[in-house]
Structure 1
Amino acid sequence: MDTNATRDLFDRYHACWEARDPARIAALHTPDSIFHLHSSQPPAQGREAIRTAAAETFALVPDLTFHLLALRVGDDFWAARMTMTGTSAAGNEVAVDLADFVLVRDGEVLEKHSYVDGPAMTAALTPPS
């Protein structure tokens, strides 16, 4: 792949997350892909597990939105810095920093490693007392 093809994949993939569509997200992954949200969750491996993990994310924050702050794209990777916003299922405002590192193989996502601001995410997901 070249950088333009990787950028096109990023745009299509990001659109799936913006549409909150777990099936379309999973379809852009390789069959053996890994999606790892590095916030004390084990990695999801394979399209079905990735679809489930994405659906669980949207259940936690049904109106989840991503605001792209920075993007670097290479022939077989992208790195992005974003802010996630929305309202959690617990009713709290979500405003959490996110960094993604994604490896690409043959036009599909091979590995997606997402790093979030853990304390901010925990606060957003915790029901008010």
Structure 2
Amino acid sequence: MTTAELALPLPDLFARYHVGWETRDPELIASLHSEDTVFHLHDGSDAVRGRDALRQHCIDMFARFDFTHEVVRTLYCDDHWVIEWTMVLALEEPGGAPFTARVEMLDVVTVNARGEVTRKDVYMNGAEAQAAFARAGIRR
């Protein structure tokens, strides 16, 4: 498959997809994934499989964590994009003092010819994530 064969140009699909994450909209995010999608946050947890499971995963994640995105760069290929970004997390120390944590992230997102996300692999800077969650008293 080439970019020209996609139902929507890859940068346009990314822009639409990114809106879902920026607005924390599980319905929009899930609607852009294939029925048999795989979402894998490489933090030791199991991959999420299927559109409905992804929707619920997003609902749970957005309820648990308050974070925003700072895009560093996005690279487009024929059937996938790679986005380097920084997750900015609003957290609290166990005593209640708020703090902001920054974690470097990298996503590899594969799409099919219909323009559906078939797989999203998310990699995080483990040392930064571990330090942030430890400071907040969160065990992962």
Measured against the shorter chain, the TM-score band is 0.7 to 0.9
For the residue of structure 1 that corresponds to 2:43, the secondary structure is coil
The answer to whether the aligner puts 1:80 opposite 2:87 as a matched pair is no
Distance of 1:55 and 1:88 partners within structure 2: 18
Aligned length: 127
- Maintained 8 Å contact 1:89/1:125: no
- Where in structure 2 are the equivalents of 1:1-129 lying within 5 Å? 2=3, 5-62=9-66, 64-88=67-91, 91-105=98-112, 106-126=114-134, 127-128=136-137
For the residue of structure 2 that corresponds to 1:88, the secondary structure is strand
Distance of 2:90 and 2:50 partners within structure 1: 29
Distance of 1:15 and 1:117 partners within structure 2: 23
- Structure-1-length-normalised TM-score: 0.88
Structure 1 alignment gaps of length 5 or more = none
Structure 2 alignment gaps of length 5 or more = none
- Structure-2-length-normalised TM-score: 0.81
> Larger radius of gyration, structure 1 or 2?
2
